[in-house]
Amino acid sequence: MQIISNYPWYYTLLCLVAGFVFSGALYFRDKKNSDRSKPLLISLASLRFVSVSLIALLLLDIFIKRLVNETEKPVIILAQDNSSSIVAGKDSSELKTEYTKALAAFVNAVKEKYDVKSYQFDSETKPSESYDFKGKETDISNVFSDIENNYANKNIGAIILATDGIYNKGTNPLYSIEKINAPIYAIALGDTIPLKDVWIQTINHNQIAYLGNAFPAEVVVNAIDLKDKQVTISIAQNNKILKQENVNITSTSFSRTYNFMLDATTSGIQKYTVTLSTIDDDKNKQNNTQSFIVDVIDNREKILILANAPHPDIAAIEQSISASQTYEVEVSLLDKFTKPLKPYSLVIFHQTANVPQRILAELKTNNQSVFFIGLNAPAGILGIDAHNASTRLNDVEASVQKQFSLFTISDALKNYMKEFPDVTCNFGNQSISNGANALINQRIGTIDTDNPLLYFNELNGIKTASFIGDGLWRWRMRDFADHSNFNLFNELISKTVQYLSVKADKSFFRIFTKKIINENEALDFTAEVYNQSYEQITEPDVTLILKDAQHKTYNYTFSKKQSFYNLAAGQFPAGEYTYEAKVKYGDKLYTKSGLVIIKKIVSEKTNTVANHQLLFQLAKQSGGKLVYRNQLEQLQKEILANDTIKSITYSHKQLTDLVNLKWLFFIIVLLLSVEWFLRKYNGKV
């Protein structure tokens, strides 16, 4: 222990002198005390000397520096799989009763020596010492991620992982234990003997389809030990069979993909059910049915390309936009186009320096977005700067602007942009109006210039963009030559078109939520309310009524945030739910309604064969051991006898301010109290 102070050593001496002078003046200078006994005066003066000196010392910022040893007990982390596949076998009742009791006894025994932290996991990991085995998905890798995040630099003695080894979410757990510096003891649960079973492994489908179009659905069917059997796969909607096909199981371990084309005949969220017919030998019929949901949109965004003449750029742009099913592209020569412009979300002009006044007037009337591509932009288009014509041309490359913030593009596209070949631009400096944002500037040789190549503008709520070059088709060809696909070029065009074609929502009341969620996800809503000046407000209350298919209603009031409203409704069973939100502001009542589909998760029913080989690899790779559920007593003895699992003692220096020592305060109070008592007991001194 060491005493240190921010003041010189002689200040301590001055404190003692102050105590001596104060006590001496109080008891020996006063002549009234001459008739008192000297032992009494010396005792009183000593008490006052010590108390005054201590009080003076507390004013000197004196610290006590000492070395403190702390012992940290080893942490034993128990992670119990809480998913439904654990109790899918014939021994489910035994697991729920005898195993859980044995596990609780194991934890109590180990707690006497170690610090035990118990968790349950399925799709997420959370602290718990009780289990209901109702989890819909299993993510074993997330267990190790949480341990790494929450117990970094902690004394982890061992990790006990109790599971069947089946995971249907997250990554392979073997890749997640590299940073875990502790042995993993795996308790193997479940049955490794496969049952005779035919099941739907997965369904691959589009999330969105368009009314009147056909969309694909890909169904993967697996079967075990049912060779030479036959079942029927069917796809139905509203109890009406749309497609059907026979499945001939030709091997002991069978897997085959079946492709169907379905017609989108009704708009809105549509539910389809895939079913395998049952046979007597099939021991697990719970995985013979799966449903999937598709959002059928009644119309696609229309994009119009008006060109002065045929050009390779037009084909490149049309093919890139058409690669996304979100858009319907129409191409026309400018002098041949006679239709109205209002149905189109975006009009793209290519090399059209002279646009008819009829079209310019209609664009302004409709407040339509415009994308100009070419060397010489036409005057009169709102937000587009007229590019000066030049007889001299220049070849330039692309230079991405890091400060661009209207939308994001991938790092892969940013890095590859410099590989795009030259395009032709007008020679000389190009300037854009204030408020415009350049995504790509011109690079001449090795010099990045301030001249724009692709820039965006917005004026009076109308979005515009301009690519002031010629030769975009070369970028598309280079992308394919290097990558055997057009993904990066398509991303550039699609992100540009998406930004320009999205229409601003001008309603005074808006509700945001996901249309489709899984049953293990929480249903959340966000609301925005605007006044007549389109300023966000949160004064009025926003209410919502949620109704399920059986017409059971749930009433909610949104929580008010700084500039918006939020509602965390929680988790609900799978099914269809309608909602209606209301807000009254002034004398007007605004309402919004919609539909939410909560999907049933069947991952835990698809595969019920335990993967003990994975558990063995986890234990071996980490220096642990694989045990079975009837070997908990053996595991308990092994962990308690493991000499490598031991407490760690840490030493660190601790500074304690003298004024923070409570016992010193009580000593001073005691000294002054004893002095006061002696004075009163012996008469006034």
Q: At 120, which CATH number?
A: 3.40.50.410
Highest mean pLDDT pick, 68-77, 173-182, 383-392: 173-182
**Where do we find the tokens 């590859």?**
416
324: in domain = yes
pLDDT of 532 > 70? The answer is yes
Give me the number of domains the chain comprises: 5
Q: Nearest Cα to 166, choosing from 602, 519, 615, 518?
A: 615
Task: For residue range 475-499, list pLDDT tens digits in order.
Answer: 999 999 999 999 999 999 999 998 8
Task: For residue range 93-111, list pLDDT tens digits in order.
Answer: 788 888 989 999 999 999 8
Question: What residues pair up with 470 in beta bridges, in sequence order?
Answer: 424
Tokens at 584, concatenated: 């009254």
CATH number where 464 lies: 3.40.50.880
Residues ≥6 apart with Cβ < 8 Å to 423: 395, 396, 397, 398, 453, 469, 470, 471, 472, 474, 475
How far CA 479 is from CA of 274, 321, 333, 454, in Å, comes to: 39, 16, 28, 18
513 and 597 in contact (C-beta within 8 Å)?
no
Neighbours of 420 (CB within 10 A): 20
Give, as one character, the DSSP assignment of residue 602: -
Q: What are the start-end ranges of the H helices in 138-269?
A: 140-150
Task: For residue range 406-427, list pLDDT tens digits in order.
Answer: 888 888 999 899 899 999 888 8
pLDDT of 666 > 90? The answer is no
Is 42 found in the same domain as 155?
Answer: no
Is 520 found in the same domain as 418?
Answer: no
Interatomic CA distance for residues 202 and 194, integer angstroms: 19
Is 325 found in the same domain as 291?
Answer: no
Range of the domain at 568: 509-599
**Where do we find the tokens 């209350």?**
541
Is 416 found in the same domain as 315?
Answer: yes
Is 467 found in the same domain as 321?
Answer: yes
- Mapping DSSP to helix (H, G, I), strand (E, B) and coil, where does residue 170 land? coil
CATH number where 206 lies: 2.60.40.10
Lowest mean pLDDT among 118-132, 410-424, 452-466, 626-640: 452-466
Is 485 found in the same domain as 375?
Answer: yes
Q: Give Cα 483 distance to the centre of its chain.
A: 30
Is 366 found in the same domain as 290?
Answer: no
142: in domain = yes
Q: Nearest Cα to 186, choosing from 79, 76, 74?
A: 79
Is 82 found in the same domain as 58?
Answer: no
Q: What pLDDT does residue 387 have?
A: 55
Q: 385 pLDDT band (50/70/90 cuts)? A: low
Average pLDDT over residues 25-30: 72
Cα dihedral sign, 120-124-126-131 = negative
34: in domain = yes
Q: Domain end: 296, 321, 337, which one?
A: 296
Interatomic CA distance for residues 206 and 261, integer angstroms: 11
Question: What residues pair up with 243 in beta bridges, in sequence order?
Answer: 235
Q: Domain end: 273, 296, 319, which one?
A: 296
Q: 608 pLDDT band (50/70/90 cuts)? A: confident
Is 127 found in the same domain as 162?
Answer: yes
Question: What residues pair up with 511 in beta bridges, in sequence order?
Answer: 527
206 and 105 in contact (C-beta within 8 Å)?
no
Interatomic CA distance for residues 349 and 346, integer angstroms: 10
Neighbours of 321 (CB within 10 A): 24
437: in domain = yes
Task: For residue range 541-551, list pLDDT tens digits in order.
Answer: 999 999 999 99
213 and 264 in contact (C-beta within 8 Å)?
yes
Average pLDDT over residues 563-570: 94
